[in-house]
């Protein structure tokens, strides 16, 4: 499998295997649970490894900076073409059932606005590590967002406009491994890649 097939398969695996009761609780209470999705991502990658569909993967890959500083990459995997991918995972809880819950705009604001919890901060982190020489050019960079509930087409369109206007993302590509119209209404998914 190559990187794109792996990312496509990840959505399909999660959509088929996440407990519906868990997704209902996540959306009902606007819970942000990146670790929940990370664990299921690990189950998926482990299945691929056991079936020789990827060469390797690891979680919480550590890059040592100047002692005692370090950076962590959520997931690193090597596909069957020996292509390494650094993967950062985010979960956006946008169901907005309680007051001023976080919306898609919150998670896609840039770091200059002080919102460092979103996907833009992950992209900036990966870019900075590459510019400092810690990530070779041949490694693929992917920032992936799991979204509960799936945004509307209009919300996705507005998000794309916003992300495309962030100067720090000028060479990142917004990609949908699974087309929006084929995504589950309770569970959306998109990536920023370079």
**Whole-prediction pTM:** 0.89
Which of 33-37, 134-138, 153-157, 161-165 ranks highest by mean pLDDT? 134-138
Helix (H, G, I), strand (E, B) or coil at 83: coil
pLDDT at 184 over 60: yes
Which of 47, 41, 51 lies closest to 74 in space, CA to CA?
41
Q: Specify the pLDDT at position 155.
A: 85
Predicted confidence (pLDDT) per residue in 11-35, tens digit: 999 999 999 999 888 888 877 788 8
Residue 13's contacts (CB-CB under 8 Å, 6 or more residues apart) are: 40, 43, 44, 47
pLDDT at 97 over 80: no
Q: Specify the pLDDT at position 31.
A: 79
Sequence spans of domains, the chain: 3-193
Residue 182's contacts (CB-CB under 8 Å, 6 or more residues apart) are: none
pLDDT at 51 over 60: yes
User: pLDDT band for position 163 (50/70/90)?
Assistant: confident
Say if CB 102 and CB 30 are below 8 A apart: yes
Give the number of other CB atoms < 10 A from CB of residue 6: 23
| Strand ranges, E, within the chain | 54-64, 70-79, 84-93, 140-148, 173-175, 188-193
């Amino acid at each position: 499998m190559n990187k794109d097939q792996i990312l496509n398969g990840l959505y399909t695996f999660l959509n088929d295997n996440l407990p519906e009761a868990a997704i209902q609780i996540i959306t009902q209470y606007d819970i942000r649970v990146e670790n929940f999705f990370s664990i299921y991502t690990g189950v998926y990658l482990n299945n691929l490894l056991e079936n020789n569909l990827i060469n390797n993967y690891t979680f919480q890959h550590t890059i040592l900076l100047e002692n005692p500083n370090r950076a962590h990459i959520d997931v690193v995997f090597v596909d069957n073409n020996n292509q390494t991918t650094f993967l950062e995972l985010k979960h956006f809880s946008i169901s907005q059932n309680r007051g001023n819950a976080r919306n898609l705009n919150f998670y896609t604001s840039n770091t200059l606005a002080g919102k460092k919890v979103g996907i833009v901060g992950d992209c900036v982190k990966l870019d900075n590590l590459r510019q400092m020489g810690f990530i070779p050019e041949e490694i693929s960079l992917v920032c992936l967002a799991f979204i509960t509930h799936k945004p509307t087409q209009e919300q996705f369109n507005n998000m794309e406009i916003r992300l495309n206007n962030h100067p720090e993302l000028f060479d990142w590509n917004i990609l949908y491994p699974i087309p929006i119209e084929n995504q589950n209404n309770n569970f959306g998914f998109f990536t920023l890649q370079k």
